[in-house]
Amino acid sequence: LTTGLESAWNKLRGTDQLTKDNIAEPMRDIRRALLEADVSLPVVRSFIESVTEKAVGTDVIRGVKPEQQLVKVVNDELVQLMGGEVSDLVFAKTAPTVILLAGLQGVGKTTVCAKLAYYLKKMGKSCMLIAADVYRPAAIDQLTILGKQVGVPVYSEGTEAKPSQIAKNGIKEAKSKKTDVIIVDTAGRLQVDKAMMSELKEVKRAVNPTEVLLVVDAMTGQEAASLVSTFNVEIGITGAILTKLDGDSRGGAALSIKEVSGKPIKFVGRGERMEDLEPFYPDRMAQRILGMGDVLSFVEKAQEVMRQEDAEELQKKILSAKFNFNDFLKQTQAIAQMGSFSRIIGMIPGMNKVTPAQIREAEKNLKFMESMINVMTPEERERPELLAESRERRIRVAKESGKNERQVSQLVAQLFRMRAQMQKMMGAMQGQDTPDMEG
Ligand code: GDP
Ligand code: MG
């Protein structure tokens, strides 16, 4: 999608006014790109129509390039199509808030249960998960394990009881513990069928949920929108969660859901880890689709993590050859805090081609190095020379971090290599800045 739209913009360059004629070709490209991204045909049609109408109707503002003008119109339309604003989770006026999750099999419901609990816990809410998928014992185990991982209790009764009864009992238990939010995991089927719908209806009646969220897999493309509609008609939902946006999935699902079903996307899943769930931002998604990358959120996140002064201080350190393990850690932690590597790389325009395997590798390396630095003493972090000079210290670090001596030596060597490289780089940059007077 990104490449298609980029070429459409390129075609517009060099013109100074938007007319029906000169936007016709970029519009055809946009249409094709959207269809390729699996946006449903009726949605594409009405989108192209309204964008064309708006673009042709306006004068090109002085000082604004025609393609910028068209970008703005297309961007605004995309944002509107996806619901305009962020659609926040609704909490019950009197606790507990009950969130019921529904969806087909394998879309990520059980994972979302735990991710959502993790997200809400960070907001300071207490949560409980209820295992109402009784068809496979493995489903209950999976939820129990994930619950443990995020530190949230899981209520279950095995596979004998009825889902609606389990849910009811679970809520009683949660109320007695004064839980803020209860998330109910349900069973999915491979396809929409009567049995699933009537079971969901029954569970819904039993728990009286504040939110009924349909979990959909982004890979389903235009199917996603009609699924959301079907579930909405059958059981009544309050929104959707779009998962697996990290894979090869195309953005089409995000574009059609609100338009076709009238229900907003509330969250998106971008990976298998617990922190890989975030609110759905229509404006950022639009920018991403437009091929600018998610520059805005990248810059914001980067700023949050590493303030300007920190960066300057780090630069000074590098110049004065004092780059140590604390700086090393600060850098790697800054990167880790910015979210997963994959997300960041996806946000940088023109950098979508890194494979998930490569990303996992890089993350593993970072964790590996961090575990060794974590057991170093403050002096060792401050003065890596201590480790370079003392085998005893290296052996201690290895032992305490569960690594071997060679791995510690390699880490120390790497730090010195980085230091040398940085000095070389800084030297070269300074050489460029200063005119060569002596020569
Ligand atoms: P359920 O059948 O709907 O409960 O689906 P699960 O929660 O068991 O998830 C099915 C598989 O999809 C698991 O292997 C999850 O780790 C994986 N999964 C869930 N969400 C995401 C996501 O956002 N990205 C990726 N890459 N995988 C996901
Ligand atoms: Mg499940």
Selection from 118, 213, 108, 117 nearest residue 174 by Cα: 117
* pLDDT band of 418, cuts 50, 70, 90: confident
Where does the pLDDT of residue 147 fall: very low under 50, low under 70, confident under 90, or very high at 90 and above?
Answer: very high
Does the ipTM surpass 0.95?
yes
Q: What's the pLDDT score for residue 298?
A: 42
| Minimum mean pLDDT range among 4-8, 94-98, 187-191, 241-245 | 4-8
Ligand 1 pocket, mutate which of 104, 241, 272 (most atoms under 8 A from CB): 272
Is the minimum distance from the CB of 243 to ligand 1 under 6 angstroms? yes
Cα dist from 179 to 89, 98, 361, whole Å:
17, 10, 38
**Model confidence pLDDT, tens digit, residues 104-141:** 999 999 999 999 999 999 999 999 999 999 988 899 99
* Per-domain residue ranges of the chain: 2-81, 97-288, 298-433
Q: What's domain 298-433's superfamily in CATH? A: Signal recognition particle, SRP54 subunit, M-domain (1.10.260.30)
Averaged confidence pLDDT in the chain = 81
Spacing of C-alpha 124 from chain mean position = 21
The span from the CA of 145 to the CA of 138, in Å, is: 10
User: What is the mean predicted confidence (pLDDT) over 277-289?
Assistant: 83
Q: Where are the alpha helices (DSSP H) in 107-193?
A: 109-122, 137-150, 163-176
pLDDT of residue 197: 94
Residues 200-227, mean pLDDT to the nearest whole number: 92
Give me the CATH code for the 97-288 domain, please.
Answer: 3.40.50.300
**Residues 295 and 344 sit within 8 Å (Cβ to Cβ):** no
Q: Whose CA is nearest to atom 5 of ligand 1?
A: 108
426: which residues sit within 8 A by CB, 6+ positions away? 318, 319
Q: Read off the amino acid at residue 174.
A: A
The answer to whether 278 and 268 are in contact (CB under 8 A) is: yes
Question: Are 160 and 169 within 8 A, CB to CB?
Answer: no
Q: Is 217 helix (H, G, I), strand (E, B) or coil?
A: strand
- Residue 332: band (very low, low, confident or very high) from pLDDT cuts 50, 70, 90: low
Q: Give the pLDDT of residue 294.
A: 40
Distance 44 CA to ligand 1 centre (A): 29
Q: What is the DSSP string of 167-200?
A: HHHHHHHHHHTT-SEEEEEE---SS--HHHHHHH
Higher local confidence (pLDDT), 356 or 143: 143
* pLDDT higher at 218 or 347: 218
Neighbours of 408 (CB within 10 A): 23
Question: Is 60 exceeded by the pLDDT of residue 400?
Answer: yes
Which atom in ligand 1 lies closest to the alpha carbon of residue 142?
Answer: 8
Indicate the DSSP class of residue 219: G
Looking at the CA of 105, name the nearest ligand: 1
Average pLDDT over residues 218-225: 84
Q: Give me the pLDDT at residue 1, please.
A: 45
Radius of gyration of the chain (CA): 26
Cis omega (within 30 of 0) on the bond before 96?
yes
pTM: 0.66
Q: Given this model, what pLDDT does residue 224 score?
A: 87
Percent pLDDT > 70 in the chain is 73
- 2-81 CATH pick, 3.40.50.261, 1.20.120.140, 2.40.50.140, 1.10.357.10: 1.20.120.140
CA–CA dist 223, 420 (Å, integer): 54
**Counting ligands in written order, which one lies closest to the CA of residue 104?**
1
DSSP E strands in 263-328: the ranges are 265-269, 277-279
218 lines ligand 1 (CB under 6 A): no
Contacts of 112 (CB under 8 A, 6+ apart): 101, 213, 215, 241, 243, 267, 269, 277
| pLDDT for 27 | 81
At 216, phi and psi to the nearest 5? -125, 145
Strands 154-155 and 127-132: parallel
Structural tokens at position 78: 């995309």
Which tokens in the block code for residue 256?
Answer: 């059609």
